[in-house]
Amino acid sequence: MATGTTQQAEAYLQAMVDELSISDTRYEQAERSYTSLGEWLGRPESTLSRYDPAVYVQGSFRLGTVIRPPSEAEDYDVDAVCELRRLRTSQLSQQKLKQMLEVEIRSYHKAQSMVKPVREGRRCWVLHYADGAQFHMDVVPCVPDADRQRRLLEVRQQKSNWSATAVAITDNERWNYTIIDEDWCRSNPKAYAEWFKQRMSVVFNRRKQMMAEVAKASVESIPDYRVRTPLQAAIMVLKRHRDVRFAGKPEDRPISIILSTLAAHAYGGEDTIGAALLSILEKMDQFIFNVDGKLVISNPTDPLENFADKWETHPHRAKAFFDWLAQARQDFAYIAAQADPQRITETAASSIGRDLAQRALQKSSGGGRLRAATVAPTSGLAFPAKARVPSEPQGFA
């Protein structure tokens, strides 16, 4: 399939991503917040200091795919992990670990004079920051779990390359939440982020080197969050497209980890947003497998975890994903082929929201008019008429 875009479409997609992006100030603010919490938990007076606490970010902030909320009235999430590195699942219950973190979370909340109350989530404690900050932090308590993860994988003859940074997390809906039992939910945000970065490492490193040369600075001095690859940009666009399409049914929308995983598998190192977006949309369903009648999207760092496990009990969510994918293919194939700014904006308005579409138009045109095309639309730009039938797993890309 051809993956060319007009110059106007490429400029428009770049402008769209710029408008979706949060500012460096927001990144720095979030970084200061979880760093501050980590320092609080590790202070000498902390009831957790003896357990060697470490706080680090996970999710879209770590992957560089966070997008601005649709309105200023909405918060964005900062997903953080608090790992107590000197504890193990054999020493305490999930409930006890969560209660231990609660003591210090509430102490930090009071010391920082935070107004909005601390809230308990299924797996985390939630800190709501001041309205001007426009974010809240979900803090997930966990303990190291490398040995158990390695054993589980080896028993099932699976590779355990990523297990060194595995953690066990709390879940207050789990049957054994209140008792000491080693069967906790598993996670590995450090490994997943490393896998994700490997999928775009060539482009990422090249762009970071170029930024350092322009700034006459060392590569190490350029924060990772200032580098954006076409993979990250494409995921940002797809997340907003998904959010708009499922605005009335948020419970059915494909979760971000599914979009990120399939996009990272499908990404082929393309240098532009348009090329990456079209290539990802064409190939992402090739990494959904049918295993004994069950659809599987494996966690690339823990093959025993299926990111699509909810599709078995909620089959309409699988259908919702494939319907969304078909619509995204149609929308972005049309946008990519257009040189007319009005046609681009009209299609984008129904796909990503009218306000964002208009802001992208203004930004890409430098005031309302796009330049004439110097790259003609590629003919034959189309996706398969039918969704690919998932097959048995063949390994990771």
How do residues 99-116 score in pLDDT, each as one tens digit?
999 999 999 999 999 989
Closest CA to 21 of 230, 231, 233, 229: 233
Q: What b/e readout covers 294-328, taking b as 16+ CB neighbours within 10 angstroms?
A: ebbbbbbbbbebbbbeebeeeeebbebbbebbbeb
Selection from 343, 352, 328, 327 nearest residue 377 by Cα: 343
- The residue assigned the tokens 């990272």 is 264
- Asked whether the CA dihedral 273, 278, 282, 288 is positive or negative, the reply is positive
pLDDT of residue 112: 93
Label residue 73 by pLDDT band (50, 70, 90): low
How far apart are the C-alpha atoms of 177 and 94, rounded to whole Å? Answer: 5
User: What band does 131 get if pLDDT is binned at 50, 70 and 90?
Assistant: low
Alpha-carbon gap, residue 394 to 149, rounded angstroms: 22
The model's confidence at residue 370, banded by pLDDT at 50, 70 and 90, is: very low
- Tally of CB atoms within 10 A around 143: 23
Dig out the tokens for 79 from the structure: 């997903």
Question: DSSP secondary-structure letter at 386?
Answer: S
**Which DSSP state fits 366?**
T
From CA 312, how far away is CA 28, in angstroms rounded? 40
Element (H, E) at 157: none
- The CA distance from 281 to 304, in Å, is 26
**394: amino acid identity, one letter:** Q
Whether the per-residue pLDDT at 396 is higher than 50: the answer is no
Q: Of the candidates 28, 128, 42, 144, which has an alpha carbon nearest to the alpha carbon of residue 77?
A: 128
State the average pLDDT over residues 120-149. Answer: 90
Q: What is the distance of C-alpha 233 from the center of its chain?
A: 11
Cα separation, 221 vs 213, in Å, equals 11
Q: Determine contact, residues 92/101, Cβ cutoff 8 Å.
A: no
Confidence grade of residue 223 (pLDDT, cut at 50, 70, 90): confident
Return d(Cα 329, Cα 306) in angstroms, integer.
Answer: 25
For residue 264, pLDDT over 90 is answered with yes
Cβ contact 238:17 at 8 Å = no
Q: What pLDDT, on a 0 to 100 scale, did the predictor assign at position 69?
A: 80
Task: At 357, list the tokens.
Answer: 């579409």
Summarised one tens digit per residue, pLDDT across range 265-279 is 999 999 999 999 999
Question: Taking 70 as the threshold, does the pLDDT of residue 30 lie above it?
Answer: yes
> Collapsing DSSP states into helix, strand and coil, what is residue 126?
strand
**Distance, CA of 220 to CA of 208 (rounded, Å):** 9
The residues, any chain, with a CB within 8 Å of residue 48's CB and separated by 6 or more, are 41, 42, 84, 100, 101, 104
**What pLDDT digit, counting tens, does each position of 44-56 carry?**
999 999 999 999 9
For residue 48, the model assigns a pLDDT of 98
Token pair listed for 207 = 């762009």
